[in-house]
């Protein structure tokens, strides 16, 4: 049961994951990362006012960005796992419920969901801005994660399930102890990709008065009128963060592949 399917889920959103077997992408990652880092350092050294001031102004916004991202991705993983299992369930009601959730949520833009939870539902009860941001992003990305988990589970050879059931495992035990550990290798790249995409989409929560990195940048720019300089720094910082995260996902994928070959 240690064999792992070689199937890989195509990545269609977020950042590309650099892998050594794709030399073009691997080289592009290094050029983009070190190029962005060099440009940022050069700007700070040559013109500390306003570039250094901007960098000193946004760290708390970076912290908030990561807080929203981590909280939302944790909730989205739980929702995604439940949804993915529901999508392959033989129970017609559960399957229909999970499929309907995926279709509805994926058909509504994230920005609209943010407005709906914070402003529309605010007519009936007040949702704190940070909570509204996490809920909206969790629900939205939970639908995408559901499809990732479904594809990952279905990528495992049916023989693995049959062998497990023949050893006396229940359907639930087979899923938990046999299928999911093997599917994780297939699931990890798109999950990491969605994590990066979610981090970028946290820029939308600034419309709810959440003091993320973009909102902090907007505050600085509105006070100093240095819009070009501020948004240049914000763009470079976002780029460096997403490139670092994509590299971490690549390292994790390589380690999982090495472990699977043992």
Q: How far apart are CA 96 and CA 12, in angstroms?
A: 25
What is the helix (H) or strand (E) element at residue 165, kind and residue range? Answer: helix 158-166
Average pLDDT, consecutive stretches of 10 residues, N- to C-terminus, the chain (262 residues): 43 56 70 93 94 95 94 95 92 94 94 92 86 94 93 83 76 78 82 90 90 94 94 96 88 70 59
| pLDDT on residue 54 | 95
Q: How far apart are CA 202 and CA 223, in angstroms?
A: 23
Alpha-helical segments (H) within 91-226: 92-106, 110-115, 129-154, 158-166, 171-174, 180-201, 213-224
How many CB atoms lie under 10 A from the CB of residue 104? Answer: 11
- Whether the CA torsion 20, 22, 28, 29 is positive or negative: it is negative
How many CB atoms lie under 10 A from the CB of residue 5? Answer: 15
The answer to whether the CB of 200 falls within 8 A of the CB of 238 is yes
Rg of the chain over all Cα atoms, to the nearest angstrom = 21
Read off φ and ψ for residue 21, nearest 5 degrees: -70, -15
User: Residue ranges of the domains in the chain?
Assistant: 23-261
Task: Find where tokens 């050069």 sit.
Answer: 42
| pLDDT on residue 262 | 59
What is the helix (H) or strand (E) element at residue 209, kind and residue range? Answer: none
Fold of 23-261: MetI-like fold (1.10.3720)
Q: Where are the beta strands (DSSP E) in the chain?
A: none
Q: Is the peptide bond before 50 cis (omega within 30 degrees of 0)?
A: yes
| pLDDT on residue 182 | 80
Read off φ and ψ for residue 13, nearest 5 degrees: -145, 165
Q: How far apart are CA 73 and CA 218, in angstroms?
A: 25
| pLDDT on residue 11 | 44
SS3 assignment, position 139? helix
How many CB atoms lie under 10 A from the CB of residue 52? Answer: 14
Q: Which two tokens stand for residue 234?
A: 């914000």
Encode 29-95 in three state secondary structure.
HHHHHHHHHHHHHHHHHHCHHHHHHHHHHCHHHHHHHHHHHHHHHHHHHHHHHHHHHHHCCCCHHHH
């Amino acid at each position: 049961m240690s064999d792992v399917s070689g199937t890989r889920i195509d990545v269609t959103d977020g950042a590309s994951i650099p892998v050594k077997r794709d030399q073009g992408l691997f080289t592009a990652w290094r050029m983009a990362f070190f190029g962005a880092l060099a440009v940022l350092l050069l700007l700070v050294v040559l013109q500390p006012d306003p570039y250094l001031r901007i960098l000193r102004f946004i760290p708390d916004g970076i912290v908030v960005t990561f807080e929203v991202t981590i909280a939302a991705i944790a909730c989205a993983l739980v929702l995604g796992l439940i949804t993915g299992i529901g999508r392959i369930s033989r129970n017609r009601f559960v399957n229909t419920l999970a499929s309907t959730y995926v279709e509805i949520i994926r058909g509504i833009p994230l920005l609209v969901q943010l407005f709906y939870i914070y402003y529309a539902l605010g007519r009936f009860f007040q949702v704190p801005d940070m909570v509204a941001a996490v809920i909206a992003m969790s629900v939205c990305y939970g639908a995408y994660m559901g499809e990732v988990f479904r594809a990952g589970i279905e990528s495992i050879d049916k023989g693995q399930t049959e062998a497990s059931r023949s050893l006396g495992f229940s359907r639930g035990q087979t899923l938990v102890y046999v299928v999911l550990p093997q599917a994780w290798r297939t699931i990890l790249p798109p999950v990491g990709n969605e994590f990066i995409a979610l981090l970028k989409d946290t820029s939308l929560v600034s419309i709810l008065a959440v003091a993320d990195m973009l909102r902090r940048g907007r505050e600085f720019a509105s006070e100093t009128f240095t819009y070009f300089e501020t948004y240049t720094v914000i763009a470079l910082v976002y780029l460096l963060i997403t490139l670092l995260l994509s590299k971490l996902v690549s390292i994790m994928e390589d380690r999982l592949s090495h472990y699977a070959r043992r």
